[in-house]
Chains A and B, each alone.
Chain A
Amino acid sequence: MPRAVSTCAPRAARALAAASLLLVLGAAEPQGQPLPERVDCALPAMVDSLRGALQQGSPALRRYMQLHIKEAALSFPAGELRALFAAERDPAMLEALGAALATKASHSEDLSLVDPILDRARSEADPRLRAASLAGMRGTASVEVLQKKGGVSYEDFIRDPSPEVRTAAVDNLLHENDKVHFGHDRGVSEAAIKAAAASPDPATAARLLTGTSMEQVGPEAVQTLVSQLASRSPELRAAAAKALGGVPAASADTAQRALVSRYPAESEHAVRAAILEGLVHLRLSGAAPTLQSLRSVDPTLALEIDAWLKVLAMHLQEWTLILREKQRLAP
């Protein structure tokens, strides 16, 4: 079967690739073998290559082709891309084409390009296709886009009956918090908190709260976190306690009061440990008196409190360093 060679790369890259290919072929192929088949620089041909890569390619080739189609989509007509997206039934392909459309939308700032993605994420009967469509928005400013569009939010997706869709929603939010805004965006953090509150699944909610930066959230979102300290799920209570540790200084008193009052009422050891972590994150070295005052509540956590106090005495300047030292000293 002849190998396909894309001619869509920029000229310099093409020349280099062709030279390399000739060298390789000259060295490895017997005389008389057909040269690799050239593929037209057209979107359908590229989509075929992508499909082949997604079905049979190595992880590296799959990643390369996904990136390639996203970059190529910037110069392809939007209508052609939309039509291919609308006709696609394979989840992996749908996600890749959705990502290409969303990238084009982000580049051109034409939000109408994401309409077909949102439509399919909401209305496809097959949950795998709903999840794949939603995953196509990953790595873009999807929270902002949904706010501008109106009518649908991550709270809706997190209530989807399908776990695939809920996972896609969480992955989108965490990726957006981490890679698009580097934890600095209030809108994304508050969308994650709202989605966690709306989630029927405590593990999903806990994952959202654990992975989201809280540095910009407002007082209303802090109250939502406080209310989750009373959740029936220990996992969610622990995640809420740690999340409260990261709220802005303006809400620090509210968060501290909630954590301190929850500590004696809490029955789970792991949640109490999370409350201690939340308090340290909130006040850093200023948390020492509070930690001392909680020592008598649960003697089994005395070593945990000692470890925190030792770390705080080091006067480390960043939370990541404090956390690392605590893990090193953990009882």
Chain B
Amino acid sequence: MAMTRITKIVTRIAAIAALATLSAAMPAPLEAATARGPICENIAKVGSTTYYSCNGSSHTALDISNQSCSEWNARGMILGTVNYKLYSGCANNCANPPPNPNCNGGAGNYYVVSGASGWDFRQLHINTNTSSATKSCDRCALGLVGSTGQSYGAHVHADNRQYGTRKSAWYTSVGTTCGSSGYCENRVGTPTL
């Protein structure tokens, strides 16, 4: 009887050890990050989510604006230090319609946080300034809220994609919708990276 019990315990320990080995060998699972609003002014609001202006054509991203252009910092949205890679080269713009809508494929000056397994998080349409560069930081200033690329009215477009396909769960899961706050202390989503 005692031997049977010991055998069972040994079997269980062996199983736990095998699982531990497996978990050590496998890459860490994907995790949701926390994204906050990009503008540190209280009036910053979400203007578009899954559809442009919430009732137009498909968008599947957040557009956040405080009704200013080239005045307020556009901050990195991910809580915690991550690497923001800058794709620039578009002339700063506040005009509507934009004079160069196809710059960088319509994204204008933009940043990408590249996660694992094809996931990324992007912030688009930035007007660049001396803060603008590829860098690793925690919600630092990336440039100014602007209107470069295919942008009608200055705003920050934020999306979370896997292999280039935009996903909506990162903001719908936390209830962000048109009119939600885009303030920099407010959580607007939990993107996968």
Contacts and interface: CB of A to CB of B under 8 A. Distances in A.
B39 to A, nearest CB: 15
Contacts of B139: 107
Of the candidates B24, B81, B185, the one having the most CB atoms from chain A within 10 angstroms of its own CB is: B81
B22 A327 contact: yes
28 contacts: A103-B138, A106-B136, A106-B137, A107-B138, A109-B135, A109-B140, A139-B80, A139-B81, A140-B136, A141-B81, A141-B136, A178-B28, A179-B82, A180-B82, A180-B136, A181-B136, A182-B114, A182-B115, A182-B116, A182-B193, A184-B114, A320-B27, A320-B117, A323-B25, A323-B26, A323-B27, A324-B26, A327-B25
B193 to A, nearest CB: 6
Contacts of B137: 106-107, 109, 141
Interface string B112-152: 00111100000000000000000111111000000000000
B26 A179 contact: no
B100 interface: no
Contact of B83 (A108, A181, A320): A181
A32 interface: no
Given A141-B81, A324-B26, A318 B117 contact: yes
Interface of A: 10, 103, 106-109, 139-141, 144, 178-185, 210, 318, 320, 323-324, 327
Q: Could you say which interface size class chain B belongs to?
A: 20 to 34
Nearest to A10: B185
Contacts of B24: 210
A144 B81 CA distance: 12
Nearest to A174: B28
Given A141-B137, A180-B80, A180-B81, 15 more contacts: A103-B138, A106-B81, A109-B140, A140-B138, A141-B81, A144-B136, A181-B136, A182-B116, A182-B193, A184-B114, A320-B26, A323-B26, A323-B27, A324-B26, A327-B25
A318 B135 CA distance: 28
Contacts of A184: 83, 114
B140 A141 contact: no
A203 B138 CA distance: 32
Given A320-B27, A327-B25, A185 B83 contact: yes
Nearest to A318: B117
Interface string B24-44: 111110000000000000000
Contacts of B115: 182
A106 B138 contact: yes
Contacts of B28: 178
Contacts of A178: 28
A318 B26 CA distance: 12
Given A139-B80, A181-B83, A183-B116, A108 B140 contact: yes
A314 B89 CA distance: 43
Interface in B1-50: 22, 24-28
A141 B76 CA distance: 15
Interface in B148-167: none
A140 B139 CA distance: 12
Contacts of A144: 136
A79 to B, nearest CB: 20
A183 B113 CA distance: 12
Contacts of A141: 81, 83, 136-137
Contacts of A320: 26-27, 117
Nearest to A145: B136
A109 to B, nearest CB: 5
A66 B136 CA distance: 21
A108 B116 CA distance: 27
